[in-house]
Amino acid sequence: MVRDVTLGQYFPAKSVIHRLDPRVKVILTFLFIVFVFVAQNFAALLLMIALEVCVMASSGVPVKQYFKSLKAVLFIVIFTGILNLFYGSGEPLVTLFGFMQITWNGIQNAIFIAIRIMSLILFSAVLTFTTTPTELTDALERIMKPLKVLHVRVHEIAMMMTIALRFVPTLLEETDKIMSAQKARGADLESGGLMQRIKALIPILIPLFVSSFRRAYDLAMAMECRCYHGGEGRTKMKQLHMAARDGWAVAISVAVCALVIVLNVLMPAIL
């Protein structure tokens, strides 16, 4: 399960999605996530999924990488879908325990919510798979630049967010190594009841926390040795420039979002 978590990983390629301006990718990802929630019926949601599939196909990232990102949250998707089975109006199809009713509207709600959650994960995965941590830092800093008027430390915030995202795969790899080492020493991490499994995690969490603090200290020391003192007076090796493909990406995305609004008006909502 640890190896299946792909959050924060970058997949190098030369696709058109990789070549988009990182500012455009961050803004469009946020826009897509918002409109996944704006979609109130299957037609609008399927339109967003069609756009998502086209973006994934154009990203040059293997499909199995996207499946890995879904596999990590599969339990949440299933659990949320099961809960929504019992939140539907209409004539009950099945009655459980005398008071829990499953209706056709509840089944629609469960499917709709499950698809919506998976769409959110995949949209976020496209951003991290096709954008390096350095590009993410530059994009976030440029997008939040107007907040400098309010004396917000934009550079530091963008740096912290990117470092946190960058170290997710590193910590997952460290967790996998510690688990393998504990299993080699005879530790049983998979059998027993819930409390026994929780207690078995203690020998993993303690060295993981120690390793995390050590890495944080080493990173802070390395930044200090390189005279890092924030964003003031810093220059960038790669300057961000908009191209024609960025304009086309924005135009297509806005058109799809407008169609989602039209479909919401013309067709009844599921939820």
Question: Which pLDDT tens digit goes with each residue over 204-230?
Answer: 888 888 888 888 888 888 888 877 776
pTM: 0.74
pLDDT for 4 beyond 60: no
* Residue-level pLDDT at 32: 92
Could you tell me if residue 178 is inside a domain? no
- Provide the pLDDT for residue 106: 79
Whether residue 91 lies inside any domain: the answer is: yes
Tell me if 24 is assigned to some domain.
Answer: yes
SS (H, E, C) the chain: CHHHCCCCCCCCCCCCCCCCCHHHHHHHHHHHHHHHHHCCCHHHHHHHHHHHHHHHHHCCCCHHHHHHHHHCCHHHHHHHHHHHHCCCCCCEEEEECCCEEEEHHHHHHHHHHHHHHHHHHHHHHHHHHHCCHHHHHHHHHHHCHHHHHHCCCHHHHHHHHHHHHHHHHHHHHHHHHHHHHHHHCCCCCCCCCHHHHHHHCHHHHHHHHHHHHHHHHHHHHHHHHCCCCCCCCCCCCCCCCCCHHHHHHHHHHHHHHHHHHHHHHHCCCCC
> Number of structural domains, the chain?
1
Please give the average per-residue pLDDT across 164-182, as a whole number.
Answer: 78
In a domain, 121, yes or no: yes
pLDDT digits (tens, 9 = 90+) for 21-48: 988 999 999 999 999 988 888 899 999 9
Residues of the domain holding 32: 1-131+241-271
Identify the pLDDT of residue 27: 92
Q: Does some domain include residue 257?
A: yes
| pLDDT of 142 above 80 | yes
pLDDT at position 255 over 90: yes
pLDDT in tens, 61-96: 888 888 887 777 788 888 888 887 777 666 666 666
